[in-house]
């Protein structure tokens, strides 16, 4: 599974980072960023459920999940 964030949609609510801090973090500008990888990232199978939970928590649907 791959994930990426649409920066223009992110409102900085931080719900993704609260639900799945292993995957998501808030950058210095207040927008969501992936931990150690601001571009699209491949999520390991053991973290897929957390990644989905974090994406589902986003109020702006700014996180895109690709299979």
Q: What is the CATH number of the domain that holds 42?
A: 3.30.70.20
Domain residues for 25?
2-66
Cα separation values, 27 from 6, 49, 52, Å: 14, 23, 20
Chain center to CA of 18: 10
- Tally of domains within the chain: 1
pLDDT of the residue at 33: 57
The answer to whether the CB of 55 falls within 8 A of the CB of 63 is yes
* pLDDT recorded at residue 27: 72
Phi and psi based region of residue 61 (left: phi greater than 0; alpha: psi -120 to 50; beta: remaining) = left
> Residue 36: what pLDDT?
46
pLDDT in tens, 10-66: 888 889 999 998 888 877 766 655 554 557 888 999 999 999 999 999 999 999 998
């Amino acid at each position: 599974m791959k994930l990426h964030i649409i920066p223009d949609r992110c409102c900085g609510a931080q719900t993704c980072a609260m639900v799945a801090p292993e995957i998501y973090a808030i950058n210095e500008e207040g927008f969501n960023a992936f931990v150690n990888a601001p571009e699209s990232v491949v999520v390991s199978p053991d973290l897929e459920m957390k990644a989905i939970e974090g994406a589902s928590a986003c109020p702006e649907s700014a996180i895109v999940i690709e299979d």
